Chain A
Amino acid sequence: MSMVYVNMFLAFIMSLMGLLMYRSHLMSSLLCLEGMMLSLFIMMTVTILNNHFTLASMTPIILLVFAACEAALGLSLLVMVSNTYGTDYVQNLNLLQC
């Protein structure tokens, strides 16, 4: 496949690694989630434009909508944890005292 797709796929893999392996802050995994969404969006848009797949032109917009929702959900969970503990350290999540 062409270099563009490989590039974007690599960006996606990097963000996924970042999501799954983080040190202490919950916020960093949320940021990597956003990165995943960004790379998916770009990949989808470029594919549709290159292949002139006009009927699927609305899917990136829909993807953006759902990305916004899940970002909001993730942030609200972060805020809930932060309300109880003051910080968003991951080690706080082991007592199930949200």
Chain B
Amino acid sequence: MNLFASFMLTSMFMLLLPIIMSNTQLYKNNLYPHYVKTTISYAFAISMIPAMMFVSSGQETIVSNWHWLSIQTLKLSLSFKLDYFSIIFIPVALFVTWSIMEFSMWYMHTDPHINRFFKYLLMFLITMMILVTANNLFQLFIGWEGVGIMSFLLIGWWYGRADANTAALQAILYNRIGDVGFITAMAWFLANMNAWDFQQIFITQHKNLNIPLLGLLLAATGKSAQFGLHPWLPSAMEGPTPVSALLHSSTMVVAGVFLLIRFHPLMEQNKTMQTLTLCLGAITTLFTAICALTQNDIKKIVAFSTSSQLGLMIVTIGINQPYLAFLHICTHAFFKAMLFMCSGSIIHSLNDEQDIRKMGGLYKPMPFTTSSLIIGSLALTGMPFLTGFYSKDLIIETANTSYTNAWALSVTLIATSLTAAYSTRIMFFALLGQPRFNSLSPINENNPHLINSIKRLLVGSIFAGYLISHNIPPTTIPQMTMPHYLKLTALAMTITGFILALELNLAAKNLKFKYPSNLFKFSNLLGYFPTVMHRLPSTMSLTMSQKSASMLLDMIWLESVLPKSISHFQMKMSTIVSNQKGLVKLYFLSFMITLTLSLLLLSFHE
């Protein structure tokens, strides 16, 4: 009987304290951000204790606290599942959030509502924790919706800007479409298995699980911005950089992948779902990598990079490797958050300049940001023995040696080389060459909040992969033997991408093209997807409803068919047919004379 569950629940409860304190005087002074940051660092420290207990002994716990209600035969209770996935994810998420909180103390320093910003970030973190530790689908749904709402509030932080409001609404709408899938799955589980608890769902045998798994895949597509429901993620870059770093790189967008990982006992049996997942992830990763190649906003490039890595995680689930996908989630959080923070540092130093065509030559004035950006990009592309290598290289090796869809595999490999290409593009435009920005902005990296937070994530980006992958309990066995050309595939694709991108950038540095080619336009306009899908269906449905309701019913059926057509017909016929002259009195007189004459004649007829 150790303190495993107590420590974990203490760590979760500590996160609630600043929210509870927000009614007091503490919320109104300017020490509140510092208070929140320290709370999260202590919560991280305390949550490391159960993590180390799990590492050394493999102990997992399920805590069922409070029986909320029973709806006929369904029992809903507050229950926390502290298993492999939760215990490792919570310290990682808390560590990254700690660094982001410290970073936003520097980034949002001049914002008058900074206390509210920190409260929103903390509420987001709490709902993410609820999502991750949920043991039944209802609690997971509470966390799911919670992160969606906080994402809306945080993307629209600068709500005076119309683009920010549109982006926040877009995020909500696309997530809602995914929620339809989630609720379908919940309803199916309720109707067929009478349970929303994971344990009961995984034990009951069922022949055909296609419907709930399709619903869960749709939910993951919405939340994790897979192809078809992806435009909200680049638009979500309208929010401040800490929001992009926390929500849209490490934590919220992996909720969809996390959901599929939670349901891996069900997905293992179903080959159809695995193929669907694989193809969806493959097309996502390729499409978003293509779109990232020609974007000009640094945050959008990193957002598309996130989207591409999410596609890679979905591909990993599709080849039936949920543990590898989870490892990639954990390692990806480190370097992606750091990439966002470095771009935030660059943006702030250049006086809110986000276009990479107007940056350049930053390696001399900002050496620390430069080196962390380069290390983050190298970790992203899977340079051997940095963080990304331990998850990404394993994924590519496993995909290469498994009996899988050849198209999905080749597409994933192409996307790997494109990852290196757009990373090179960021580094080339933002850091190298001669400066292209205004010379009046004060560029410095003096603030210790900025330096310490990026430094922490830098150390994490270099060592976390090794530390995590050597301390976790063994799960599925990775493929140990393969031909040497398969082993070197990921490295070769990455190096190809680097070299190609570097050559192209150097060769075309001072050239100007007059007319963009079709391929460029396809990539720059995000594959025409938002342009078409945001305008065409709404125009068509509104026009169709106007035509059917107003034109068809009112104008045609009620007005034209009987009344107007009869009058029109009669008038036309009367003018065509009649040749009367309208001498009414004469006609009446002749009628009367005929009548009288016939009466007289016939009455005196015998």
Chain A contacts to B: CB under 8 angstroms: 16-17, 19-22, 29, 90, 93-96
Contact = CB atoms under 8 A, between A and B. Distances in A.
A95 B581 CA distance: 7
B592 A17 contact: yes
B600 to A, nearest CB: 13
Contacts of A17: 592
B592 A21 contact: yes
Given A22-B585, A90-B584, A90-B585, A96 B592 contact: no
Contact of B589 (A20, A93, A94, A95): A20
A17 B585 CA distance: 12
A3 B283 CA distance: 104
Contacts, number: 28
Contact of A93 (B584, B591, B592, B595): B584
A70 B16 CA distance: 84
A96 B584 CA distance: 11
A93 B588 contact: no
A96 B578 contact: yes
A94 B588 contact: no
Interface of B: 575, 578, 580-585, 588-589, 591-592, 595
A94 B595 CA distance: 24
A32 to B, nearest CB: 11
A20 B592 contact: yes
A96 B578 CA distance: 10
A98 to B, nearest CB: 8
Contacts of A22: 585, 588
Contacts of B584: 90, 93
A29 B578 CA distance: 23
Contact of A95 (B575, B582, B588, B595): B582
A85 to B, nearest CB: 12
B588 A20 contact: yes
A29 B585 CA distance: 10
Given A20-B589, A21-B589, 9 more contacts: A16-B592, A16-B595, A20-B588, A20-B592, A21-B585, A22-B585, A90-B584, A93-B584, A95-B582
Contacts of A95: 582
B130 to A, nearest CB: 74
A21 B583 CA distance: 13
A29 B580 CA distance: 20
19 contacts: A16-B592, A17-B592, A20-B589, A20-B592, A21-B585, A21-B589, A21-B592, A22-B585, A22-B588, A29-B588, A90-B584, A93-B582, A93-B584, A94-B581, A94-B583, A95-B582, A96-B575, A96-B580, A96-B581
A93 B588 CA distance: 14
A73 to B, nearest CB: 13
Q: Which 7 A-B pairs have the closest CB atoms?
A: A20-B592, A93-B582, A94-B582, A20-B588, A93-B584, A90-B584, A96-B582
A93 to B, nearest CB: 4
B583 to A, nearest CB: 6
B120 to A, nearest CB: 70
Task: Choose among A22, A29, A96 the residue with the greatest number of B CB atoms under 10 Å from its CB.
Answer: A96
B262 to A, nearest CB: 76
A19 B588 contact: yes
Nearest to B587: A20
Nearest to B588: A20
A94 to B, nearest CB: 4
A41 B341 CA distance: 99
B588 A21 contact: yes
B592 to A, nearest CB: 4
Nearest to A29: B588
Task: Choose among A16, A20, A21, A22 the residue with the greatest number of B CB atoms under 10 Å from its CB.
Answer: A20
A19 B585 CA distance: 10
A95 B575 CA distance: 12
A93 B584 CA distance: 7
A29 B589 CA distance: 13
Contacts of B588: 19-22, 29
A81 B159 CA distance: 65
A34 B583 CA distance: 22
Contacts of B581: 94, 96
Nearest to B590: A20
A93 B581 CA distance: 8
A8 B295 CA distance: 100
Contacts of B583: 94
Contacts of B575: 96
A21 B592 CA distance: 8
Task: Choose among B581, B585, B595 the residue with the greatest number of A CB atoms under 10 Å from its CB.
Answer: B585
A20 B588 CA distance: 5
Nearest to B578: A96
